[in-house]
Amino acid sequence: MKKALPLMIAGTLSAGMAGFSHGADLMAVYRDAIAYDAQYASARAALDAGREKLPQGRSGLLPTIGLAASTTWNDVDSTRRTAGATEVNTKYNNNGWTVSLTQPLFRWQNWVAYTQSELAVAQAEAQFGLARQELIVRAAQAYFDVLLAQDTLATAQAQKVAIAEQLESAKRNFEVGTATITDSHEAQARYDLTSAQEIAADNDLTVKRQVLRSVIGKEPEGLKNLKPGVQLVRPQPDDIGKWVEMAESVSASVQIYQALFEIASREVEKQRAGHYPTLDLVATRGRSSATNSTTLGFGSDSNASTIGLQLSIPIFAGGAVMSKDREAVALREKAASDLENARRTAALNARQAYLGVSSGMAQVKAYEAALTSSQSALDSNKLGYDVGVRINIDVLNAQSQLFDTRQKLAKARLDTLAALLKLKAAAGSLGEDDVAAINALLE
* Rounded Cα gap, residues 415 and 427, in angstroms: 18
Q: What percent of the chain is predicted at pLDDT more than 90?
A: 62
Give the pLDDT confidence score for residue 144 in this predicted structure.
Answer: 95
Over 50: is that where the pLDDT of 163 sits? yes
| Phi, psi (rounded to 5 degrees) for 332 | -65, -40
Where do the domains of the chain lie? 4-439
**Cβ atoms of residues 79 and 86 within 8 Å:** yes
More confident residue, 393 or 156: 156
Q: How far apart are CA 246 and CA 130, in angstroms?
A: 15
User: Looking at residue 346, what is its pLDDT?
Assistant: 95
**Segment 378-390, tens digit of pLDDT:** 888 888 877 777 7
User: Beta strand pairing status for 64-80 and 300-312?
Assistant: unpaired
Residue 178's pLDDT band, with cuts at 50, 70 and 90, is: low
DSSP type of residue 105: E
Edge-first strand order for the sheet with 86-106 is 64-80, 86-106, 278-290, 300-312
Q: What's the pLDDT tens digit per position in 100-145? A: 999 999 999 999 999 999 999 999 999 999 999 999 999 999 999 9
pLDDT band at 400 (very low <50, low <70, confident <90, very high): confident
> What's the rounded Cα separation, in Å, for the pair 226 and 22?
12
pTM: 0.83
- CATH number for the region 4-439 comes to 1.20.1600.10
pLDDT digits (tens, 9 = 90+) for 209-243: 999 999 999 887 789 999 888 888 888 889 999 99
- Distance from C-alpha of 246 to C-alpha of 425, rounded to nearest angstrom: 11
Give the mean model confidence (pLDDT) for residues 369-385. 87
Three-class secondary structure of residue 106 per DSSP = strand
- pLDDT-derived band at 293, boundaries 50, 70, 90: low
